[in-house]
Structure 1
Amino acid sequence: MRTIRKHSNSGYQQHSSTQRHTGPTHWYACAINHRRRCRQCACVHGSPRLPEAHALLLTVGCWGRGGRGDRRDCHSGRARKVGLPDAENNCEMARRKLQEAILAAEGLRVSEENSKGRDVYTELCVRQRVFLSKDSSGIYSIQFSPDAQQLAVGFGNGAVQVLNAATGIVASELFPGHRTRQAVTAMRYYPKHINILMTAGADGIISIYNTETGWQVVEMKEEENEIHALDFCSDGNVYATAGKDRHIRLYDSRTSQIVKVFEAPDFKSSDNLTLMSGHSRRIFALRFHPDECHIFLTGGWDNSIKIWDKRMEKEARRFINGPHICGHGIDIRDNQILTGSWAAHNALKLWDYRSLRLEKTIPFPLRKGQSEFLYTAKFCNSEVVIGGGSGTHSAHAINYKNNQDLGGIALGRNTVQAVDTVLDGQLIAVAGISGNLHMATLY
């Protein structure tokens, strides 16, 4: 392992998320900024569907549209005058309505667990298509930061760019890419530090960047391996990689030293093989359980999902037979497992984590003569999933409770290779061959 420190200013563009924006992204940028100040309120931030309290805040200029009235912090109650040529009565009336609405919102506030699924989303709306300088190399991985401020993008030539998630503007280029480098196939933000980004590629190279400074702080390589999957456990102490050689390597997050390897079985010489022995073909997906830091799932070309406990010696604990995983096609939420298979039909499925039984097959929208062939699938929230691939050259958001198609993002004739979402679907990114990065939101 070798450590590299460098600071590249090439192509670096400063862009503040607190800057006033105009045009169609104005409300969204404002919503992101407002979310920082209002972490305890009951609204769904970043959405135009605001509770009455925040709708009133918007009318009196809290989000900075430049209108007349008080600009008021919704928790501190402080206000500053920005020019009130109108009668004071109008302002006083707005204040009273605001206070009443805030009290009403306080009465409706519930715990996060009880509020899941509270909003009913009916439509997927594309906000913008983002054109990037490396689009010709294709986009193979995307990842939102935990605070939803950044979107990291990995390209086919090894380039890594970080975008402002609200505007799509490139904030920094962490690596410019090179003709000798291969695709960045996986990336994750460190759960304990929102400015630490880890990437892995088909050339076996793992890189760790500080997105705030633009420095590459660590680079190392898994020799003779193509890394296709990477994830952190929920407490951030360990991360794991998997790929072509079928070994699953667990690293200490602080030192980036290997602490454990689940070695792939040798199917030619071993006589003690079981269904728990490991994958027989390359691994394309790896996902830690969001609540149980010791548990993770893997899937690949051998038509199986294996469930591992990193405390065990060598074998998987349980397995699901069937899903043919060829990309980031595994997700887990609320004790449900979502799989997106590279299969012509019935590719999107929901499984019960506890019993491992198939709960349902989620219908993926098709036109006549089309097939599904999904590369990626992900939960948006407790009711909506999104998946995409090469069959329709599109990604679709689907309410799996009622099988309603909420809308799709078509990439022309280009394959969808990457999907990510945060804030329960308030920010969605879809990308693939020839770039084709699209930003969308659920309404």
Structure 2
Amino acid sequence: MEAERRIEHERTIMDPNVEILTVRWNPDDSHIASACSDGTVKIYSSVSGSFIRTLNCRVGTGPVPITGIRWRPSASFGKTKNILIALTVEGTIMHWHATSGKTLNTIKLDCQTLSLDYDYEGKRFAVGCSDMNIRIYDESTKEVISNLVPGMGELLGHVNRIHSVKFLSDNMIVSGGWDNNILLWDIRSGAVARGMYGPQIAGDSIDSTSNLILTGGYQISDQLQLWRVDDASLAYSETLRSSERACMVYSAQFSKHDCGAIFALGGAGCDEAYFYETASRRRFAVLNNLVKPIYSIDFANYSNRVAVGSGDGSLRMLSVLEPTVVDQEI
């Protein structure tokens, strides 16, 4: 008889004075970055859970929430490792060398910077903004090399702030935000190739694997949706609800080490995270008993571990245990 997958708690790191808005494993899974509501990014050892250092992204005098972080991929052309980008709500894009704690570069925009992603090789990064633009930067020069512009007239594009961007390939980006549009952009032409309507995206809640796009909506129904990349059709939809309270999603992601065999979503309302098998769409675990929203979920790159960041100041490290075959007595 085959047992079901399940999640197992490893450890919880608490910082009750802040909200944990984004968590991210570094490329070799040795460290976890935790981005906070006070404008800092804290680096921890993923092995021991010990605190390593704080990266202070506050440019002014007051606390400025971190809206997104990404580690530069290990496949990057650059020789320097453990490079991390942090965005702030005031429009600052900061490159850090997390190992030494040094700021390498700072870009200041006249709008809020809300979401970002690296391409696979780390040669470019995309930033979604409150002015409805997606700016694509060259990682080497830190200059804008392409701008995916807002919708206007018959021109398709976003008409509200952009809370999630994701590279699908070298030439394709998917994005979403408050306008309920999920747009697939052809970077070469700078135009929308396909679009889906429905999910309101309020966090880092778009991901992809193979021919599927996962979206987590900040809404009271159909929060979980899977879309086909090739024709933008809806493959699956489910309402997330617990004890008559809807889970309005802030974060959604496929697992990485097994090419998206499972996925997870978490958010506000019932303050829970849900874990699913991708092929069967079967829910196999729920992380509950939290008192504040789940803002971020990130799977490790080379193992079955998961990091979860919450509004209660907690960074939880979990393991997804694979099914095992158990002999059944007759």
Aligned equivalents of 1:281 and 1:127: distance in 2? Answer: 39
Query: Contact between 1:411 and 1:436, CA under 8 Å: does it hold in 2?
Result: no
Q: TM-score if structure 2 supplies the norm length?
A: 0.88
Aligned equivalents of 1:361 and 1:121: distance in 2? Answer: 23
Letter in structure 2 aligned against 1:216:
T
Gaps of 5+ in 2: 322-330
Aligned equivalents of 2:149 and 2:281: distance in 1? Answer: 40
Aligned counterpart in structure 1 of residue 41 of structure 2, from 152, 160, 164: 160
Could you say what secondary structure the match of 2:307 adopts? Answer: strand
1:286 corresponding residue in structure 2 = 165
Deviation track 1:206-253 (CA, whole Å, cap 9, x = no partner) reads 111111111111112111x11110111122211110121111111110
Letter in structure 2 aligned against 1:391:
G
Query: Contact between 1:341 and 1:374, CA under 8 Å: does it hold in 2?
Result: yes
1:139 corresponding residue in structure 2 = 20
Could you say what secondary structure the match of 2:192 adopts? Answer: coil
Could you say what secondary structure the match of 1:317 adopts? Answer: strand
Query: Contact between 1:163 and 1:170, CA under 8 Å: does it hold in 2?
Result: yes
Number of aligned residue pairs: 311
Q: Are residues 1:377 and 2:252 paired?
A: yes
Query: Contact between 1:344 and 1:391, CA under 8 Å: does it hold in 2?
Result: no
Could you say what secondary structure the match of 1:166 adopts? Answer: coil
Greater Cα offset, 158-167 or 176-185:
176-185
- How far did 1:405 drift? 2.8
- How far did 1:402 drift? 3.2
1:204 corresponding residue in structure 2 = 91
Query: Contact between 1:157 and 1:179, CA under 8 Å: does it hold in 2?
Result: no
Query: Contact between 1:350 and 1:362, CA under 8 Å: does it hold in 2?
Result: no
1:51 corresponding residue in structure 2 = none
Q: Are residues 1:386 and 2:264 paired?
A: yes
Deviation track 1:127-169 (CA, whole Å, cap 9, x = no partner) reads 111123xx42211111111111111111111101111112221
Aligned counterpart in structure 1 of residue 137 of structure 2, from 242, 251, 257: 251
Query: Contact between 1:427 and 1:439, CA under 8 Å: does it hold in 2?
Result: yes
- How far did 1:407 drift? 2.0
Aligned equivalents of 2:177 and 2:293: distance in 1? Answer: 19
2:223 corresponding residue in structure 1 = 347
Task: Please list, as runs of the form range in 1=range in 2, the aligned pairs for 1:79-228 lying within 5 A after superposition.
Answer: 122-132=5-15, 135-175=16-56, 180-191=62-73, 192=76, 194-223=81-110, 225-228=111-114
Greater Cα offset, 169-178 or 179-188:
169-178
Q: TM-score if structure 1 supplies the norm length?
A: 0.67
- How far did 1:391 drift? 2.2
Question: Which protein has the bigger strand share?
Answer: 2
Letter in structure 2 aligned against 1:262:
L
Deviation track 1:371-407 (CA, whole Å, cap 9, x = no partner) reads 1211110002433110000021011212243343322
- How far did 1:424 drift? 6.3
Letter in structure 2 aligned against 1:309:
D
- How far did 1:176 drift? 7.2
Task: Please list, as runs of the form range in 1=range in 2, the aligned pairs for 1:267-278 lying within 5 A after superposition.
Answer: 272-274=153-155, 277-278=156-157
Deviation track 1:89-147 (CA, whole Å, cap 9, x = no partner) reads xxxxxxxxxxxxxxxxxxxxxxxxxxxxxx99610111111123xx4221111111111
Structure with more contact order per residue of length (Cα contacts < 8 Å, sep ≥ 6): 2
Aligned equivalents of 1:214 and 1:411: distance in 2? Answer: 35
Aligned equivalents of 1:166 and 1:406: distance in 2? Answer: 26
- How far did 1:187 drift? 0.7
Letter in structure 1 aligned against 2:137:
Y
Deviation track 1:405-437 (CA, whole Å, cap 9, x = no partner) reads 322223622011111112466121111213121
Query: Contact between 1:415 and 1:432, CA under 8 Å: does it hold in 2?
Result: yes
Deviation track 1:318-372 (CA, whole Å, cap 9, x = no partner) reads 11111111111100011210000012122111111112111112464x3331112
Could you say what secondary structure the match of 2:245 adopts? Answer: coil
Aligned equivalents of 2:307 and 2:199: distance in 1? Answer: 24
Aligned equivalents of 1:386 and 1:331: distance in 2? Answer: 10
2:328 corresponding residue in structure 1 = none
1:30 corresponding residue in structure 2 = none
Query: RMSD in angstroms over aligned alpha carbons?
Result: 2.0
Aligned counterpart in structure 1 of residue 211 of structure 2, from 307, 332, 335: 335
Could you say what secondary structure the match of 1:213 adopts? Answer: coil
Query: Contact between 2:91 and 2:108, CA under 8 Å: does it hold in 1?
Result: yes
Task: Please list, as runs of the form range in 1=range in 2, the aligned pairs for 1:318-333 lying within 5 A after superposition.
Answer: 318-333=194-209
Query: Contact between 2:247 and 2:272, CA under 8 Å: does it hold in 1?
Result: no
2:146 corresponding residue in structure 1 = 260
Aligned equivalents of 1:183 and 1:350: distance in 2? Answer: 30
Cα distance change on mapping 1:307 and 1:343 into 2, 3 Å: same
Query: Contact between 2:221 and 2:238, CA under 8 Å: does it hold in 1?
Result: no
Q: Are residues 1:317 and 2:193 paired?
A: yes
Question: Which protein has the bigger helix share?
Answer: 1
Aligned equivalents of 1:194 and 1:360: distance in 2? Answer: 39
Gaps of 5+ in 1: 1-118, 267-271
